[in-house]
Amino acid sequence: MPDKEDIKSVDPATLEMLEKAAQDGCSTAFDRAARMSPCPIGATGNCCSICGMGPCRVPLAKGKEETAEEKKKRRGVCGATAETIAARNFVRMIAAGTAAHGDHGRVMAKLFLDVAQGKAPGYQIKDEQKLLQLALDLGVTIGDRSNEEIAVDCAKLLMAEFGKQEGELLFLKRAPIKRQELWRKLGIAPRGVDIEVTEAMHRTHMGTDQDYKDLLNFGSKVSLADGWGGSMVGTEVQDIIFGTPAPVLSQINLGVLKEDEVNVIIHGHEPQLAEMMAIASRDPELIAYAKTKGAKGINLAGMCCTANEMLMRHGVPIAGNFLQQELAIVTGALEAIVVDVQCIMQGLADTANCYHTKVITTDPRAKIQGAVHMPFDEHHGLESATAIIRAAVDNYPNRRGNVRIPSQKTDMIAGFSHETINYLLGGMFRASYRPLNDNIINGRIRGVAGVVGCNNPRTTHDAADLIMVKELIKNDVLVLQTGCMAMASAKAGLMVPEAAEFAGEGLRSVCEAVGIPPVLHVGACIDNSRILIAATAMVKEGGLGDDISDLPVAGAAPEWMAEKAIAIGQYFVASGVYTVFGTTFPTLGSKEASEFLFKDMEQMYGGMWAFENDPLKAAHLMIDHIDKKRKALGIDKSRERILYDMAMRRDLEAV
């Protein structure tokens, strides 16, 4: 793939704005990354900074053969080995990622309770079916009780999941039985969300757990408290109170900003504010107010995962992914960038100083020096959102004339929740995964891949995603995407049904029959829990083995950067999925720790990690894994037959 020195992005809008930023004398993450190379010791997990005796640097052994004597010298002051240090750092990343998703899920569960108790005006229970299904899953009595009464009980149970001290997370029961039994056997079935994060911090404290295998195995337990805990609670509740996503048409890229309107971007992860912003931005009074300031209207767009949430449920356009956050300001046409939590660069405040943009923080947990803080209160949601939009409108006359909005905006379809896939494939009256399983068994679809995660300025923006995704669909692998990688593919036009032309013949025929793109937008990063549910539905539908690890599926995060991505990767692996990361990998400084993740975990979990920086090679690692699983299931021959049939058909056509 192209070196980051050669090309910063494959997205023309991004390149255009980088040029403008340079002209305007404004620096971005791309410039900062070029100025500062990553610390070579920290990047591979070899720096231990958890106590005051260090930080200790214990790099990888030099040369191939290391004597026992040499190995003894490669230790931290406390005697910690490279593998212990790498494992500790890795587990701390998992804990941080799990904490971030968990805190998001907790806020949603509390909002759910407030909504049910009538304490959060403006919000409501939108998806009754999903509420009732949740009640059934949680063992909450339905009877002739009102939705609100049922919701109060469900919300209390979900809130208790965070502080639970013993037993098991309730959603583990949603996994295939065999998987649940494996987790129990290995002692990695999480008890609660918070307790696993806390224990991870304790175990990785100086002088506690110093067996790298034990540490990494515990990391699995923590990560499962994310995927089948905090994240799943978040997704579930959001669907109930904001609506379960269904296919929706929208647009993506910086070209969605409008020259003659008040532009407001909402950026971050938790959608409770964004929901109210969507309502406030359509308020006729506010629109009239914007007109008094000379604007034609109010244009709301999203960025990062809040964007995914707003897109999936309201069709609100997306201005861009992670590395485009500063570039939206560089257009000179952005009145306010309104942020909540996670993935918000501190650099936004500096970039905003070059233009007129207001950076508005809204969450008590995430303030930025130099930004304006306008606290968002869910109990008065609409008032808070209205005040924020007003502030943006008031800023419109301050535009400095230095406006350039890239023309790029691409059509996309999003909203492929588990329920939608079920419905689209099976129909309203017989919603099921049967057609998907059948098409996998008959070989038209070779397998399914989840390609998720962030952007990272250490690799060409969006490039690895596009190379990987195109290769996968070309080889008949149906791709499910979340987060910033979903946006990369959408910008390149892969999320419309017409993109089926890039797919192999088998996948194309299925996409055309159903009318879906070969690359499905499944949501925000917490919605990776939807992929776990979809994989489980495939197992339960039958014909593809009896555990997630039997399925011809694979996962990847080719441009990851956040600790959350490591938590996600680990819960995919511990759920039985082969998972390939690109760009960098945080344990490479220890051969032993890496081998445990890259090899031994497969024996334990049926899923394992891999690191491959070349996205084309990574795609083929995934395809090879999918083929290995097809063979084990005894369905490899059906695919050969299909290919033979196609060749025969081509021969016939040639006659």
Residues that bind ligand XCC (CB under 6 A): 269, 304-305, 322, 343, 453-454, 483-484, 524-525, 562, 564
**What does the alpha-carbon distance between residue 417 and residue 395 come to, in Å, rounded to a whole number?**
37
> Is residue 140 within 8 Å of 246, Cβ to Cβ?
no
Choose between 134 and 495: whose C-beta lies nearer to ligand XCC. Answer: 495
Least distance from ligand XCC to the Cβ atom of residue 33, Å? 14
DSSP per residue over 307-326, as a string? HHHHHHHH---EEE-GGGHH
Choose between 457 and 483: whose C-beta lies nearer to ligand XCC. Answer: 483
Least distance from ligand XCC to the Cβ atom of residue 405, Å? 22
Least distance from ligand XCC to the Cβ atom of residue 542, Å? 32
**Alpha-carbon dihedral of residues 160, 163, 168, 171, nearest 10 degrees?**
50
Choose between 170 and 277: whose C-beta lies nearer to ligand XCC. Answer: 277
Q: 10 Å Cβ neighbour count for 27?
A: 17
Q: Indicate the burial class of 390 (C-beta count within 10 angstroms; 0-12, 13-18, 19 or more).
A: middle
Choose between 339 and 525: whose C-beta lies nearer to ligand XCC. Answer: 525
Least distance from ligand XCC to the Cβ atom of residue 322, Å? 4
Type of residue numbered 185: K
Give residue for tokens 């660069």: 345
Q: Are strands 262-267 and 248-252 parallel, antiparallel or unpaired?
A: unpaired
Chain-centroid distance, C-alpha 58: 32
> Is residue 261 within 8 Å of 296, Cβ to Cβ?
yes
Choose between 107 and 115: whose C-beta lies nearer to ligand XCC. Answer: 107
Least distance from ligand XCC to the Cβ atom of residue 572, Å? 14
Choose between 171 and 322: whose C-beta lies nearer to ligand XCC. Answer: 322
> Is residue 607 within 8 Å of 578, Cβ to Cβ?
yes
Least distance from ligand XCC to the Cβ atom of residue 310, Å? 13
Name the nearest CA neighbour of 492 among 517, 475, 529.
517
Least distance from ligand XCC to the Cβ atom of residue 83, Å? 27
Least distance from ligand XCC to the Cβ atom of residue 305, Å? 3
DSSP per residue over 517-580, as a string? -SEEEEESGGGHHHHHHHHHHHHHHSSS-SSGGGSSEEEEETT--SHHHHHHHHHHHHTT-EEE
Choose between 91 and 484: whose C-beta lies nearer to ligand XCC. Answer: 484
Choose between 483 and 552: whose C-beta lies nearer to ligand XCC. Answer: 483
Q: Using DSSP, how many helices (H) and how many strands (E) does the chain show?
A: 28, 16
Choose between 320 and 517: whose C-beta lies nearer to ligand XCC. Answer: 320
Type of residue numbered 612: E
Choose between 97 and 435: whose C-beta lies nearer to ligand XCC. Answer: 97
Least distance from ligand XCC to the Cβ atom of residue 34, Å? 19
**What does the alpha-carbon distance between residue 104 and residue 98 come to, in Å, rounded to a whole number?**
10
Which tokens belong to 518? 């070969």
Choose between 96 and 454: whose C-beta lies nearer to ligand XCC. Answer: 454
Name the nearest CA neighbour of 577 among 614, 613, 611, 532.
532
Q: Are strands 519-523 and 47-48 parallel, antiparallel or unpaired?
A: unpaired
Least distance from ligand XCC to the Cβ atom of residue 24, Å? 25
**Alpha-carbon dihedral of residues 555, 558, 563, 567, nearest 10 degrees?**
10
Choose between 217 and 324: whose C-beta lies nearer to ligand XCC. Answer: 324
> Is residue 569 within 8 Å of 601, Cβ to Cβ?
no
**What does the alpha-carbon distance between residue 298 and residue 408 come to, in Å, rounded to a whole number?**
20
Least distance from ligand XCC to the Cβ atom of residue 317, Å? 16
Choose between 14 and 210: whose C-beta lies nearer to ligand XCC. Answer: 14
Choose between 113 and 343: whose C-beta lies nearer to ligand XCC. Answer: 343
Q: 10 Å Cβ neighbour count for 532?
A: 27
Least distance from ligand XCC to the Cβ atom of residue 465, Å? 11
Phi and psi at residue 317, to the nearest 5°: -65, 160
Least distance from ligand XCC to the Cβ atom of residue 123, Å? 22
**What does the alpha-carbon distance between residue 388 and residue 532 come to, in Å, rounded to a whole number?**
36
Distances (CA, A) of 367 to 20, 272, 340: 28, 18, 9
Least distance from ligand XCC to the Cβ atom of residue 501, Å? 27
